[in-house]
Structure 1
Amino acid sequence: MKKALLTAPVICLMLLLMAARPFAEVELVKKRVLSERVEILIPKGFEVMSEQQMDFNYAKSQSRPSVIYTNSNEASISFSYTDNTADQDMIGMYQDNFYKIYAKQFKEAKWFNHGVKEINGRQVGYLELMKPELGHEVYQLIFFTDVEGKLLMCTFTCADRQKPEWENVAKQIMGSFKANG
C-alpha cells in the first residue's frame, strides 16, 4: 500500500517535469544577407523562399520583401531593404510611427512590447505583437534599423500556437543583427 501511495506522487512529478521541459533547442547559423550588408543568425534548416512562392504569397501585397527564409511555411524571417532614408537618429521616430500605424491598422492586436534597443552598437527599433492575418492569429517580431542610409525591416512570423517554440528564437535572431559597413 505504501508503495502505491509513493508511486502516484512520483508519477505526477515526472509528468509535470516532462510538461515543463523546454522545446527542443533550435540551432542557429550565421548568414550574410542582402549582398553581404547584414550578418544575422537564422535557424538551421531555413531556406530562401523561391521566387515563385514569393510571387504567390505577395501577389496582392503592395510591397514584397527582398528575401525570405522559411522552414516550409511554419515560421519565416523576411528582410525588406526599403528606399526610405534612414540613419541612427531616425530609428526612434520610425519606431513611434510604426507603432501608431500598426496599433491603428490592427486594433485587436495583442501587444507584447515595442521600443528601441541598442544591438551590437546600433539603435534597432522593434514591435512585438500577435495580430490577425488571413483568419488566424500570427506572432510577429518586427525589427528595423538603418543600413547604408536606407531602412532595413526584418520580420519574424509564426502561427500563434507556435509562439512558445519560436519567441525566444526570434529574439535571439534580433539580438544577433550586425550591419556590415
Structure 2
Amino acid sequence: MKKVLLAPLLCLAVLLMAARPFAEVELIKKRVLSERVEILIPKGFEVMSEQQMDFLYAKAQSRPSVIYTNTSHASLSFSYTDNTADQDMVDMYAANFMKTYRKQYSDAQFFSDGVKEINGRKVGYIEMMKPELGHQVYQLIFFTDIEGRLLMCTFSCPDRQKPEWESVAKQVMSSLRSNS
C-alpha cells in the first residue's frame, strides 16, 4: 500500500516543483566604472578576472571595461567606449545599432528595441536572441552617455536560462543611474 501511494505523491511533488516560478533573484546596488555609474547587479555576480577577460576576448577588437558574472554563464558587461555621446545622440545610436545588429546577426531573433527614459536619462536598448559558438544566447544590450562618452552594457545568458534572467536583465537596465 505504501508503494502505491508513493508514486503519485512523487509525481505530484515533481509537478509542483516544475510549475513554481523561478526563485526571486536578489539584486544589490553597485557603483562601477570608477563610481560613474550606479546599477543593481544580481547578488553572487563577481567581477571577472583580467586573465579570464584576456582569454575570452583574445581575438576581439575590443573588450568590455568590466564584466560581472556568475557560475552558470550569465554575465553583465560594461564597455565605456571612446565614442563621443550625449543625450541628444542616444536616439541616433539606437537607430544605428539596430541597423548594424540586424545586418550583422541576420539569423537573430529580435524581441524589442528603442529608447526609454530611465532615472531621467535616455537609454537605448536592443533585446535579442542570437547564435554564438553553436548555441543561442539571450542578450539585452543597453546604452547611454556618461561624461561625454558612450557606455554600452550587455546582459547575456544561454537561451535555456532566458526564463530565469529576462526580467532580471530588465530590472538591471531600469536601475541604471549616472553619478555625473
TM-score, normalised on structure 2? 0.91
Hey, what does 1:45 align to over in structure 2?
A: 44
Hey, what does 1:81 align to over in structure 2?
A: 80
Task: State how far apart, in whole Å, the 1-side matches of 2:16 and 2:168 are.
Answer: 22
One-letter amino acid matched to 2:117: E
Once the two structures are TM-superposed, the CA of residue 122 in structure 1 deviates from its matched residue by: 0.3
Hey, what does 1:132 align to over in structure 2?
A: 131
Once the two structures are TM-superposed, the CA of residue 12 in structure 1 deviates from its matched residue by: 8.9
CA-atom RMSD, angstroms? 1.8
Hey, what does 2:104 align to over in structure 1?
A: 105
One-letter amino acid matched to 2:64: P
Once the two structures are TM-superposed, the CA of residue 13 in structure 1 deviates from its matched residue by: 8.4
- Give structure 2 stretches of 5+ with no counterpart: 1-7
Deviations along 1:44-82, one digit per CA (max 9) or x if unpaired, are: 110000000000000000010000000025200000000
Match of 2:122, SS state, is: strand
Hey, what does 2:172 align to over in structure 1?
A: 173
Residues 1:70 and 2:69 are matched in the alignment: yes
Once the two structures are TM-superposed, the CA of residue 14 in structure 1 deviates from its matched residue by: 7.6
Hey, what does 1:155 align to over in structure 2?
A: 154
Hey, what does 1:4 align to over in structure 2?
A: none
TM-score, normalised on structure 1? 0.91
Once the two structures are TM-superposed, the CA of residue 21 in structure 1 deviates from its matched residue by: 1.6
| Further displaced range: 19-28 or 79-88 | 19-28
Hey, what does 1:3 align to over in structure 2?
A: none
One-letter amino acid matched to 1:125: G
Task: State how far apart, in whole Å, the 2-side matches of 1:62 and 1:29 are.
Answer: 31
Task: State how far apart, in whole Å, the 2-side matches of 1:12 and 1:134 are.
Answer: 37
The equivalences for 1:112-123 within 5 A come to 112-123=111-122
Q: How many residue pairs align between the two structures?
A: 174
- Give structure 1 stretches of 5+ with no counterpart: 1-7
Task: State how far apart, in whole Å, the 2-side matches of 1:15 and 1:163 are.
Answer: 22
Task: State how far apart, in whole Å, the 2-side matches of 1:73 and 1:59 are.
Answer: 22
One-letter amino acid matched to 2:179: N
Match of 2:169, SS state, is: helix
Residues 1:141 and 2:140 are matched in the alignment: yes
